[in-house]
């Protein structure tokens, strides 16, 4: 399953919509996504993680910013 992670680049940064970034990670659960981020040493402020259903995934793939992270 592919998950979309919305985050701020700094773990101390207050979430501001205009500075929110996203990444896509393949995992079995939200817990696994968080574990992978911690294990790889990502220092980010995770706002939200949600699973992408097939239709939403196809939509996201059309974006030039879509890149599946290798974590």
Residues sharing a CB contact under 8 Å with residue 27, sequence separation 6 or more, in sequence order? 1, 3, 33, 36
pLDDT of 70 higher than 90: no
* pLDDT value of residue 11: 86
pLDDT in tens, 19-69: 999 999 999 999 999 999 999 999 999 999 999 999 999 999 999 889 999
Name which of 46, 52, 40 is nearest 1 in CA terms.
52
Could you give the count of Cα atoms lying within 13 Å of 1 in the half-sphere of its Cβ?
Answer: 15
* pLDDT value of residue 46: 94
């Amino acid at each position: 399953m592919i998950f979309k992670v919305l985050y701020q680049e700094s773990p101390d940064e207050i979430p501001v919509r205009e500075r929110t970034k996203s990444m896509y990670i393949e995992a079995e659960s939200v817990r696994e996504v968080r574990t992978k981020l911690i294990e790889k040493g990502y220092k980010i402020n995770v706002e939200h993680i949600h699973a992408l259903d097939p239709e939403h995934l196809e939509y996201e793939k059309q974006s030039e910013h879509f890149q599946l992270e290798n974590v």
